[in-house]
Structure 1
């Protein structure tokens, strides 16, 4: 039934719960789940594919929770979600064409920039601000870029969507978090459409982790809606910094 020994399954389930909790609030759940899958013996492709499977359930759960709380209206995001889905699929398809080492060098710098932005910029709250670009422009520029990145590489996707919504679309932090989930859910679906035929999926492990993702994402979304920017902002800083440090370690350790 499972692709690994029972004690490893239990550890992966715990990792998925934590990943779902973190991802529903600040993005970056892959920082927990992907290394856990690699340590359990998955190849890089198996880890990425299985992570997309279980992560899709977490993103969908968080989206449902935020929609039920009135922080996002999924029907209004259908267009952007379709773009994100297509971009995620495209990113997954071309993943083998661009050396991942290039992104491993660039992304820590970008993630540190994300952390610094949310840590140091004054006035970041749940209140909206003036948009710097119209939403149609945002949908045709930021959404496909981040969605394709999610299909190709992955770490930090939620953080990048979040920063785009806050910095360019003028959303408050909580609203940005809620809207990020639908786009992340869509890009995960797009990636899955490419990974499923590849045969790299650990279905038994992935579905067991998905159950834990649902529980973690549900808890995280409820806390985020209750506390708002006071929780989301510091967690986003910590997660972005941790992802950057991990990627730097991979670059120099390798």
Structure 2
């Protein structure tokens, strides 16, 4: 049991580090949980994953807030909508299997990667594109859509948030990652409340992984702040590439 906790705590640390910069920590943490405990109910492992990741995401958001000016006029309405629609997505997934999304996702991620590669200047300059009610409305639509996706299916949520904050709102990659953490906390909280209510959680393991996730998140956010948008962009493309291979394998070879 001790060796299993050590493996999962290490996975939590690495997931926190990657997730703090560009999202995608679930690529590491979730498969590790399923590999170590293959006989435990998936819902319980997902609930434990959320318990660990929400603390790391919150720590990253706090770390960004101290050094990077978060655009709350965009992040706050996006986070509020994400919370509500993440609940709706979680409810719907109990009624409709997300198989169509499983097969579509690799192609969506390929389009994101190709677009980012072609647009060399994408996310290099922080120049918010909207203000006022238009900004709030678009933020609500974006946050609600991504929140619903996170509750219904989930893989790559953090990376999608970063991309949309860059592409739609004119943020650079560093500011986009900071805003994405705020929205991600909201998504995770909605899911966590659902899993807590239904009793799907291993509290001791989740708490231990949360400590390591926080450590990784603090290091990851400091690396992003120190090395800037260029570093975040490169890691974003690396994580999206890994997501393409992972989701493609899951969709077509399992």
The reply on whether 1:237 has 2:230 as its aligned counterpart is: no
- Tell me by how many angstroms 1:57 deviates: 0.6
Q: How does 1:116-127 map to 2 (within 5 A)?
A: 116-127=114-125
Deviation at 1:253, TM superposition (A): 2.6
CA shift at 1:132, angstroms?
6.9
| Aligned residue in 1 for 2:20 | 24
CA root-mean-square deviation: 1.8
Q: TM-score, normalised by structure 2?
A: 0.92
Residues in 2 aligned to 1:71 and 1:21: alpha-carbon distance in whole angstroms: 21
User: What TM-score, normalized by structure 1, do the two folds share?
Assistant: 0.92
Q: 1:82-231 to 2 correspondence within 5 Å?
A: 82-129=80-127, 131=129, 134-231=134-231
Which residue of the other structure, out of 2, 10, 13, is the alignment partner of 1:14?
A: 10
CA displacement, residues 137-174 of structure 1 (integer Å, 9 cap, x when unaligned) = 32231110101111222111111111111111111111
Question: Aligned residue pairs: how many?
Answer: 250
Deviation at 1:75, TM superposition (A): 7.9
Q: Which runs of 5+ in 1 are unaligned?
A: none
Q: Secondary structure at the match of 2:93?
A: coil
- Give, in angstroms, the shift of residue 98 of structure 1: 2.0
> What is the match of residue 252 of structure 1?
252
Alpha-carbon distance in 2 for matches of 1:241, 1:80: 26
> Which residue number in structure 2 is paired with residue 81 of structure 1?
79
Q: 8 Å contact 2:75–2:139 — kept in the other structure?
A: no
Which shows bigger deviation, 221-230 or 196-205?
196-205
Deviates more, 1:96-105 or 1:52-61: 96-105
Distance 1:124 1:78 in 2: 24
Residue among 41, 64, 67 paired with 1:66: 64
Which residue matches 1:37?
A: 33
